[in-house]
Amino acid sequence: MTDPSRYSIHVDVEPAYLDQESSPREDRYVFSYTVTIHNQGQVPAKLVRRHWIITDANGERREVTGEGVVGEQPMLGPGERFRYTSGAMLTTPVGSMEGSYELIADDGTTFTAAIPAFTLAMPRTLH
104 domain-assigned = yes
Question: CATH number for the domain including 55?
Answer: 2.60.40.1470
The residue segments making up the domain with residue 113 are 9-121
The reported pLDDT for the residue numbered 11 is 98
127 domain-assigned = no
Domain count, the chain: 1
The reported pLDDT for the residue numbered 78 is 97
Q: Do 94 and 24 touch, CB atoms closer than 8 A?
A: no
79 domain-assigned = yes
Tell me the CA end-to-end span of the chain in Å, nearest whole number.
42
81 domain-assigned = yes
Give per-10-residue mean pLDDT for the chain (127 aa): 79 98 97 98 97 97 96 97 98 98 96 97 79
Q: Do 1 and 86 touch, CB atoms closer than 8 A?
A: no
